[in-house]
Amino acid sequence: MRLIDTHLHLWDPDLFDYPWLDEIPPLRRKFGPTELAAASTPADDELREYVFMQADCTASQATAEVDWVTSLAGDAPIRGIIAFAPVENHVGLGKALDHYASRPLVKGIRRLLQSEPADFSQSNAFLDGARRVAAAGLTFDACVTSEQLPQVALLARNVPELPIILDHLGKPAIGETGIADRLGFDRWRDDLRTVAAEPNVWVKLSGLPAQSTPAWTPSLFTPYLDTAIEAFGADRMVFGSDWPASSQQSSYQRWQEFVHNWLTTSTGGEGADNVRFANAQHVYRL
């Protein structure tokens, strides 16, 4: 079986500054290829490859982070890098794109939106930057809260040439018991369908454990994956582990096995392979 994990984080607090790790002390340590191998060893019949997702170090260190991860590609099968760039900053974005142009592993950009105002991605400066990202042949990973999903749809509509990958299914508020808040689930479902109506958006099966607790069960997450495949279809879905950011709520293997079993039940052989690796190859141009 082949798998492309499109959401692998690696970090080293001795090399870079990650302010957000102050809120999660157990994760403030090095996570590199050695730690990845210890956390999850692929089965004998599994070919696993990775797309590194920027780990939100200090913005001024982003290009150095790319060079560091590039240096690790010989120790882990890293096929691509999604790097940080200040999309809304004309000068800063230009410098980042110039640097990444000579780094062939860079396939896309992620500028976190989850902590920004709802209309942040609709400013003229951001939209202009998004068009420049598309013109550079790069994708954009949208990491947003569920309340920001309408803004992702608007971004996709305003920049139709930009491939957008929605991280973590838009971060639905799952909690400990699943669909306890029916109104919240229905709103997320309706907004996800609106996003899926834009043909330049893909959805990433990742990050749900971090929206819940270590006591999660398959039945807790299944309604969300079922909704996502109904909205996007198997041709616009990719897999992501969110390791090690989600490691306090789930082991790598537990999440992978859950998604594998769900795919086996929900799709045919070709559809499952699309989600496991073919879609990632296509959207990230690996």
How far apart CA 111 and CA 102 sit, in angstroms, is: 20
How far apart CA 110 and CA 272 sit, in angstroms, is: 26
Of 40, 63, 53, the residue nearest 257 (C-alpha): 40
171-184 pLDDT, tens per residue? 998 876 666 677 78
- Bond preceding residue 33 cis, omega within 30 of 0: no
pLDDT band at 46 (very low <50, low <70, confident <90, very high): confident
pTM of the model: 0.96
3-state SS class at 11: strand
Q: Do 280 and 51 form a contact (C-beta atoms < 8 A)?
A: yes
Predicted confidence (pLDDT) at residue 42 exceeds the cutoff of 80:
no
How far apart CA 279 and CA 272 sit, in angstroms, is: 10
* Structural domains of the chain, ranges and CATH numbers in brackets: 2-283 (3.20.20.140)
Q: What is the mean pLDDT of the chain?
A: 95
192-231 pLDDT, tens per residue? 999 999 999 999 999 999 988 898 999 999 999 999 999 9
